[in-house]
Amino acid sequence: MSPIDIQKKIFDHIKSTLPPYIALADEISSIFNISHDSAYRRLRGETLLSLGELQQVCHKYNISLDHFLNLQNGSVVFRATDVPTGNEGFLEYLKSVLAQMQFFNQFKSRELFYLCKDIPIFHFFHNREFAAFKSYFWMRSIINDTSVPEQFDISSGLYTKYFDIGQQIISEYNKLPSTELWNPESINSSFHQIEYYKEAGIFASSKDIETVYDSFEQVISHLQEQCKAGIKFFYGRPAPQQGFEFRFFVNELILGNNTIIAKTDDRVLTFITHWVLNFMGTTDQQYGEKVLSAFHSLANRSMLVSKVGEKERNRFFNRLREQVKYYRKRI
Whole-prediction pTM value? 0.83
**CATH 1.10.260 intervals, the chain:** 3-68
Instruction: Report how far residue 249's alpha carbon sits from residue 166's, in angstroms, rounded to the nearest whole number.
Output: 24
Q: What pLDDT sits at residue 320?
A: 96
- The model's pLDDT over 71-111, given as tens digits with 9 standing for 90+, comes to 566 777 787 877 887 778 899 999 999 999 999 999 989 99
Out of 126-130, 143-147, 238-242, give the one with best mean pLDDT: 126-130
pLDDT over 70 (residue 59) = yes
The model's confidence at residue 270, banded by pLDDT at 50, 70 and 90, is very high
- The model's pLDDT over 288-317, given as tens digits with 9 standing for 90+, comes to 999 999 999 999 999 999 999 999 999 999
Once rounded to an integer, what is the mean pLDDT over residues 24-51?
91
Instruction: Report how far residue 324's alpha carbon sits from residue 218's, in angstroms, rounded to the nearest whole number.
Output: 10
Instruction: Report how far residue 256's alpha carbon sits from residue 304's, in angstroms, rounded to the nearest whole number.
Output: 16
The model's confidence at residue 70, banded by pLDDT at 50, 70 and 90, is low
Can you name the CATH fold of 3-68?
434 Repressor (Amino-terminal Domain) (1.10.260)
The model's confidence at residue 60, banded by pLDDT at 50, 70 and 90, is confident
Task: Please state, for a pLDDT cut of 90, what percent of the chain lies above it.
Answer: 71
Contact 254, 234 (CB under 8 A): no
Contact 179, 113 (CB under 8 A): yes
